[in-house]
Amino acid sequence: MKIGFFGGSFNPPSIAHLKLARKAITECNLDKVIFIPIGDFYNKKELVKIDNRIDMLKIATKNDTNIEVSDLEKYFKEKIYACDIFRIIKNKYSNDDIFFLMGEDNYLKLSTWKNYNELKNYKYIIFERYDNTKNKENLKKEKQNFNIYVIRCENTKEISSTLIRERIKNKYSLENIIDNDVEKYILENKLYIR
């Protein structure tokens, strides 16, 4: 199988996350995408528990037969690094063709991550989100040297988890930026409220 692994905080998952996953499936002929939310041990502002983020992702993807949600990072009792997760996935899915999905901003920071020499050997699907000429040039160079596929993503950069959290705190509309059932879950569980 050809599988894409999409890591992130998904705090909360936005419609942009879903659009990106679906676009990767279509444009790169993936059999499925697996969301992998980061664990609770990351020092990220306003990070709700992984169980909540897994629930929200499952609600958001309930109608997508080719999208799954992993609880892989739930069981670690300390912060783990991308290289550790990538290694676990590579071993678990050794018979599959695997790709790691990420935004261009994260990909262009990859050289600063732990065990970069190992990380550069994996295959990536990169979401090109910004109209930044320097980033485009850097991605073009990377594409020549590494296993990366670049997908141009329109109408996603304005939607972020940070924006959603701010809108929840200020009681603004979440229409067209988050799944309706995810919004209900957030309100019922009183998430992201000051």
Cα separation of 174 and 142, whole Å? 36
Residue 72 DSSP symbol: G
SS3 155: coil
φ and ψ of 6, to 5 deg: -115, 100
φ and ψ of 66, to 5 deg: -110, 20
pLDDT value for 137: 63
Pure H helices in 62-132: 82-92, 104-107, 116-119
Q: Which domains does the chain have, with CATH numbers?
A: 2-157 (3.40.50.620)
Query: In the predicted model, what is the mean pLDDT of the chain?
Result: 88
Taking only the tens place, the pLDDT of each residue in 94-130 is: 999 999 999 888 888 888 999 988 988 899 998 886 6
Contact 15, 177 (CB under 8 A): yes
Taking only the tens place, the pLDDT of each residue in 130-180 is: 665 555 566 555 555 567 788 877 666 678 898 999 999 998 999 989 999
Cα separation of 157 and 3, whole Å? 24
pLDDT value for 87: 95
Cα separation of 190 and 175, whole Å? 18
What's the pLDDT band for 181 if we cut at 50, 70, 90?
very high
Contact 4, 99 (CB under 8 A): yes
